Structure 1
Amino acid sequence: MSLIPNSWHWKELKLALICLLCSLPIVLFFLINFHLAIIIFILWSTLIINIAYFNPISLNILYVRFFFEYLLERPSILSQLRPLGLDLFNTQLSDYSLSFDEHVAKQFRKEFDYLKSFKNKKMSSAQKESYDVIGYFINMNLKREYSDEFRYHSYLINQMMGPQTELISFIVKYHRILKLNDAEAYIIRVQRISKAFDQLIDQQIERRRRNIETPRFVLQRVFDSLHAFREQLQNEPNQSPLMISFIENLNDSICSKEKQNELISRLLKILKTDVLEAHDRLLNVLREDLSNAKTDHGLWKLPNGDKYYKLCLEFHTTTNMSPDEIFELGKKHVERIQNEMRSILKEKQIENWHDFRVSINKLEHNVDQIYENDEESRGKIIADYSQLIDNIDNEMHRYFSPACRPTTKCTVERIPKFKEATSPGAYYFPASLDGKTPGTFFANLRNIGEVIKFKMATLAYHEAVPGHHFQVKFHI
């Protein structure tokens, strides 16, 4: 059995750990003078409580506390990254409730105040760099995601990386089943999809109340994706990725065949009741929103949309450039890149090379740039992406020292079929910090005709190596 009750979150575990640490000096009551032991006990408890809840004496302690509490309050990210091998809450999913948003906003404001109290204190260059990065991260989040004005301006439920599908992907990809307790935790986690969907419903209704309308095209794609998943749950629950992944990870070293069958039966029942009913509830809300959705989309339509747009630009560019300045800069770089590409097209004697759109479109339809439209080609695409990534990775020693290179290779997988229709062409999931789950480049193979050979390298270099595979290494 797990030492941590299934109902516990970080808040409960933190309190238990503090009580344990505060009680350590009790042994002194048997070794030294009673009054001296009382003084030591009070001083020790004050230090522990201050470190845990208030402004610690050290900036490094503040950094560590912020990092670990950020992870420990988000069980999905914790299971994905596993710092120090930790996966303490593997029965829980991340909290999408309105109350958790409010809690995080208060926590960020408090931590930001604590951080600013160190501003004029002496720091090493590494501490100063960390101070600036964490300060920027907290401050921008307080201005955007956790501000009273813009907390609900983002479309939480969306067709790209929305939690309504990412919850499923996370459980399938990152929940490890190495022993019986892990299998039991998997079942509990799947059951908690129902609660998570109810939280998403509350989020959507709150946005509706604040006149934050999700664009029609987003709603339609989310609805279609959820409806398809829901139909599979009803008609073929044994083919659900949640069931297939569970069965694939069970084996005789974990438990007996009889126990495996019992676990599978329990999971099947949860899929046909809790998870199916949760999909129905969310679909009903989205159906209502779809009936009222319009097509005049844009941040300009949201309350104080212009201000929010500028904040988003500031967050993503780390500059104070205006939207017009960024637009003009973008046009300048697009023109430069297109001119470079025209030179390549001319060199390769591509017809109409001077007309960029026409020549690129013609190149995309060249027979040597497309794959045959069959299942065998999907395996070939995965193999070609893997080869591209291996080739560029073998050259990285010329540009990065060993300390700056990830210790694990980047693997390539197909985007799960249930989310292909609304996913981008590719995306990256980072490796766990214990190195046991590799960083993964996910390729979208819904339509082989969308995969153009000369574009694959650019996508692989951006999403995988060096791209996000190296980026995450630097961040950590």
Structure 2
Amino acid sequence: MIKKTFKWLGFLLLTAIVIGGSFAAYEWNADKPLRFRSFVDREVLKMAFESPETLTSLGFLESLGITGHNAKLDDASLAKADELFIKLKEVHKTLSYYENDNLSKEDLLSKEIALYLLDFAKNSEQFRYHNYPVNQLFGIQNGYPSFMEAQHQINSTDDVENYLSRLELIKIKFTQELEGIKLREAKGIIPPLFVIERVLEEMNTLVDKPIKENILYTSLAKKMTDSGNIDNAEQADLLAKAKVNIAEYVHPAYKLLINYFTNLQSKATTDDGFWRLPNGEEAYENSLKFFTTTDYTPQYIHDLGIKEVNRIQTEIMTILAEQSYDVSQGFSDAIEKLAAQESFYYEDSDAGRAKILVDYQKILDEIDAGLDSAFRIRPEAGMEVVRIPEFKEKTAPGAYYQQPAIDGSRPGRFFANLYDIKATPKYSMRTLAYHEGIPGHHFQIAVAMELEGLPLFRMFSPFTAYVEGWALYSEYLAWEMGFQDDPFDNIGRLQAELFRAVRLVVDTGIHYKKWTREQAIDYMKVNTGMAQSDVVSEIERYIVMPGQATSYKVGMMKILELREKAKTALGDKFDLRDFHDVVLKNGAVPLNILERFIDDYIAQTLKK
């Protein structure tokens, strides 16, 4: 259904532009469109049209012959951010004018979800600067080259000219980003020292590298060659222009941030939690509420994590004992012995890393062919496994999923981090593939994008507890269905769940209980047995993304709780396919709304 959504968006836009005075034009321009769906889609589209980078990522205008946005970058100024908050309040006001009695069941749900998000945005405005826009995980310094490499398509010389234009504009955007970072400094919101050290290392590495080895250069060269539409002489000329633009615009932009963060180091501390910031404790509680879509307190989440850590470790130790491992010295010792076995790892070479990608794809193809007993609803979009770009894999997470293009031109992608070969034991690969790919993120996110009649904003609703809870639930589901019958694969699954339970402890430990970075690293290392490089990367992630890591386990436990609730109530009438239909067919939602869906499903099924 991705293409149907794409056609609807194109129709709404083109008819508004071309057919002046028509119903579609009225819906586009009216203060309160007649159709509720027209209003919510229109507002998302208008916001998207003010973000050239979003339009490039969505990829639906190119098929209409509209490409001018691909020559521009987003406005990252403080004034533009102020405009957004004003706009959201205006949207909230207009939404209230749509009477519930006049809306369909589907539109009522969309209104409820929209108001949930808008109310949260209004209440969170006081914390809008409680973040670190440039950090070791994300920010303009790595987001810009990643965007240009992954999203900017090259099929013609015009596309290359647009690419070159974006190289020229980068210094303006960096300057705008710096404006917001300086305001945060004035408010006492300064990143921890290690964050500054990481981003300086990353930016200096990019600037110091020869231009012909810069990802902005190499990516363009590869895309032009792959397009098959640009002759060699023209490619050489365009690459020469790109080299000049990188030297004259890109490098100076990076040096702006390098100089700023170099000077900022003397003001930074080694305290890492949000508790140290002005109103930091309130900001953290707000972040937990956003990511979990619950009112759980930091203390409750911390205690829940400790309980789950103990339970899961006991299960792992039982399996290890059954496999004749010595568990007498405790969990950490037993896991280290398991992790030390060379037979569980690929060769530390380019060939070994290539084999990992091939084997990931085999795992996904296998489970994709064996899910008919559990799913009716499936995405049309395909998916592929690719390596996280090497320039950022050192500080990147172990893996992540990238949604398909809305017009179907790009499949969903499972990005695997292959920096540290010891971070990819063979017994963990199935679990990671099920989480990021099938039936995890790919099924949930791609299905949401393809649902017919779903407003655009609900295709990308930022309800992390639902999204990540589903992916973690998918790991458990795959084990239930027999795809991890090897006991070591099951240990890999349990280690992944343990990892998420530990997150509950360390995230709240850092931001609520005032743990140091080193305390959190030690706790995670001892209680998971993960590779040291992964532990450090993860703890540093939680420091710059407070609360996000708690959403996985909270969401998974809620989905399992609701499934058990439905099983108990329905008995023989329970069908796993029906349950998954209910969970997936409405896109991402807050957990309390998901529970209402399941309650309705139970009531309706009992009536049959």
| Change beyond 3 A, Cα 1:18–1:390 | closer
| Match runs of 1:311-460 below 5 Å | 311-352=286-327, 355-401=330-376, 404-460=377-433
| Change beyond 3 A, Cα 1:474–1:334 | farther
Equivalent position amino acid for 2:222 in 1: E
| Change beyond 3 A, Cα 1:346–1:50 | same
Structure possessing the higher radius of gyration over alpha carbons = 1
| Match runs of 1:264-303 below 5 Å | 264-303=239-278
DSSP-derived class of the 1:94 partner:
coil
Instruction: Work out whether residues 347 and 353 of structure 2, in 8 Å CA contact, stay in contact via their aligned partners in 1.
Output: no
| Change beyond 3 A, Cα 1:212–1:459 | same
Once the two structures are overlaid, the 10-residue window that deviates more, 93-102 or 291-300, is: 93-102
User: Which stretches in structure 2 are left out of the alignment for 5+ residues?
Assistant: 1-12, 450-608
- Is 1:245 paired with 2:219? yes
- In the aligned structure 1, how far is the partner of 2:364 from the partner of 2:16? 46
What is the RMSD computed on CA atoms of the aligned residues? 2.4
Instruction: Work out whether residues 100 and 108 of structure 2, in 8 Å CA contact, stay in contact via their aligned partners in 1.
Output: no
Equivalent position amino acid for 2:138 in 1: M
| Change beyond 3 A, Cα 1:154–1:475 | farther
Match of 1:175 in 2: 152
1:254 equivalent among 208, 229, 234: 229
Instruction: Work out whether residues 192 and 270 of structure 2, in 8 Å CA contact, stay in contact via their aligned partners in 1.
Output: yes
| Change beyond 3 A, Cα 1:96–1:53 | farther
- In the aligned structure 2, how far is the partner of 1:53 from the partner of 1:154? 36
Equivalent position amino acid for 2:306 in 1: K
* Pairwise CA distance, 1:329: 2.3
* Pairwise CA distance, 1:154: 1.4
Equivalent position amino acid for 2:220 in 1: F
Match of 1:130 in 2: 110
* Pairwise CA distance, 1:18: 6.7
Match of 2:475 in 1: none
- Is 1:101 paired with 2:81? yes
For residues 338-395 of structure 1, give each alpha carbon's deviation from its aligned partner in whole angstroms, at most 9, with x where no partner exists. Answer: 2332332222222217822222222111122222222221112212222222222222
Once the two structures are overlaid, the 10-residue window that deviates more, 354-363 or 97-106, is: 354-363
Equivalent position amino acid for 1:338 in 2: Q
| Change beyond 3 A, Cα 1:338–1:124 | farther
- In the aligned structure 2, how far is the partner of 1:353 from the partner of 1:77? 54
DSSP-derived class of the 2:137 partner:
coil
Match of 1:10 in 2: none
| Change beyond 3 A, Cα 1:260–1:374 | closer
* Structure with greater contact order relative to length (CA < 8 Å, sep ≥ 6): 2
- In the aligned structure 2, how far is the partner of 1:373 from the partner of 1:256? 38
For residues 256-301 of structure 1, give each alpha carbon's deviation from its aligned partner in whole angstroms, at most 9, with x where no partner exists. Answer: 4333222111111001110011111110011111222100121111
DSSP-derived class of the 2:401 partner:
strand
Equivalent position amino acid for 2:212 in 1: N
| Change beyond 3 A, Cα 1:330–1:123 | farther
Instruction: Work out whether residues 95 and 196 of structure 1, in 8 Å CA contact, stay in contact via their aligned partners in 2.
Output: yes
Instruction: Work out whether residues 370 and 451 of structure 1, in 8 Å CA contact, stay in contact via their aligned partners in 2.
Output: yes
Match of 1:210 in 2: 187
- In the aligned structure 1, how far is the partner of 2:304 from the partner of 2:99? 34
| Change beyond 3 A, Cα 1:419–1:263 | same
- In the aligned structure 2, how far is the partner of 1:134 from the partner of 1:263? 45
Instruction: Work out whether residues 71 and 78 of structure 1, in 8 Å CA contact, stay in contact via their aligned partners in 2.
Output: yes
DSSP-derived class of the 2:414 partner:
strand
For residues 79-111 of structure 1, give each alpha carbon's deviation from its aligned partner in whole angstroms, at most 9, with x where no partner exists. Answer: 122246566411122332211111111111111
Instruction: Work out whether residues 80 and 174 of structure 1, in 8 Å CA contact, stay in contact via their aligned partners in 2.
Output: yes
| Match runs of 1:41-190 below 5 Å | 48=25, 51-52=28-29, 54-83=31-60, 85=63, 88=67, 89-118=69-98, 120-144=100-124, 147=125, 149-190=126-167
- Is 1:201 paired with 2:199? no
Instruction: Work out whether residues 152 and 207 of structure 1, in 8 Å CA contact, stay in contact via their aligned partners in 2.
Output: yes
Equivalent position amino acid for 1:101 in 2: A
Once the two structures are overlaid, the 10-residue window that deviates more, 352-361 or 433-442, is: 352-361
Once the two structures are overlaid, the 10-residue window that deviates more, 348-357 or 63-72, is: 348-357
DSSP-derived class of the 1:417 partner:
coil
Instruction: Work out whether residues 386 and 415 of structure 2, in 8 Å CA contact, stay in contact via their aligned partners in 1.
Output: yes
Match of 1:461 in 2: 434
- In the aligned structure 2, how far is the partner of 1:52 from the partner of 1:310? 39
- In the aligned structure 2, how far is the partner of 1:131 from the partner of 1:391? 39
* Pairwise CA distance, 1:51: 4.2
* Pairwise CA distance, 1:19: 7.7
- In the aligned structure 1, how far is the partner of 2:272 from the partner of 2:156? 49
| Change beyond 3 A, Cα 1:164–1:309 | same
Once the two structures are overlaid, the 10-residue window that deviates more, 326-335 or 421-430, is: 326-335
- In the aligned structure 2, how far is the partner of 1:395 from the partner of 1:128? 36
- In the aligned structure 2, how far is the partner of 1:188 from the partner of 1:400? 46
DSSP-derived class of the 2:386 partner:
strand
Equivalent position amino acid for 1:309 in 2: Y
| Change beyond 3 A, Cα 1:95–1:468 | farther
Instruction: Work out whether residues 426 and 441 of structure 1, in 8 Å CA contact, stay in contact via their aligned partners in 2.
Output: yes
* Pairwise CA distance, 1:179: 1.7
Equivalent position amino acid for 1:218 in 2: V
Equivalent position amino acid for 2:86 in 1: K
Match of 1:230 in 2: 207
Equivalent position amino acid for 2:39 in 1: L
For residues 112-164 of structure 1, give each alpha carbon's deviation from its aligned partner in whole angstroms, at most 9, with x where no partner exists. Answer: 121223253332221122222222222223332xx1x2111011111112232
Equivalent position amino acid for 1:71 in 2: A
User: Which stretches in structure 1 are left out of the alignment for 5+ residues?
Assistant: 1-13, 26-43
- In the aligned structure 2, how far is the partner of 1:200 from the partner of 1:400? 44
Instruction: Work out whether residues 428 and 439 of structure 1, in 8 Å CA contact, stay in contact via their aligned partners in 2.
Output: yes
| Match runs of 1:303-314 below 5 Å | 303-314=278-289
| Change beyond 3 A, Cα 1:343–1:133 | farther
| Change beyond 3 A, Cα 1:94–1:344 | farther
- In the aligned structure 1, how far is the partner of 2:431 from the partner of 2:195? 27
* Pairwise CA distance, 1:70: 3.3
- In the aligned structure 2, how far is the partner of 1:399 from the partner of 1:138? 35
| Change beyond 3 A, Cα 1:364–1:353 | farther
Tell me the TM-score normalised to structure 2 length: 0.67
DSSP-derived class of the 1:419 partner:
coil
DSSP-derived class of the 2:252 partner:
helix
Instruction: Work out whether residues 222 and 422 of structure 1, in 8 Å CA contact, stay in contact via their aligned partners in 2.
Output: no
Matched-pair identity in %: 31
- In the aligned structure 1, how far is the partner of 2:228 from the partner of 2:430? 41
- In the aligned structure 1, how far is the partner of 2:104 from the partner of 2:172? 45
DSSP-derived class of the 1:320 partner:
coil
